Amino acid sequence: MVENYTVCNCMQVSYNDIANAMHELSKFEDVLSAFQKVQDVTHCSTGCGGCHQKVLDVISEIMSGAAV
């Protein structure tokens, strides 16, 4: 189990928010299309944009099976 933490400070989006958003979506072809969908749901990375790579890392981690 991964400890929850804030990934996007601007929009207050946590690791769990991203994981939950991904649970709601059926399947992803790749990290970038998953990012688009997660962003639609959580609005992460729509502020300063500084968390972009962090969000991508979290998505890849979840996609690789860490939390799904």
Binding site for ligand FES (CB under 6 A): 8-11, 44-51
* Beta carbons within 10 angstroms of residue 48's beta carbon: 11
C-beta closer to ligand FES: residue 48 or 66: 48
C-beta closer to ligand FES: residue 1 or 46: 46
* Rounded least distance, CB 2 to ligand FES, Å: 19
* Rounded least distance, CB 57 to ligand FES, Å: 13
The CA distance from 4 to 10, in Å, is: 17
C-beta closer to ligand FES: residue 11 or 67: 11
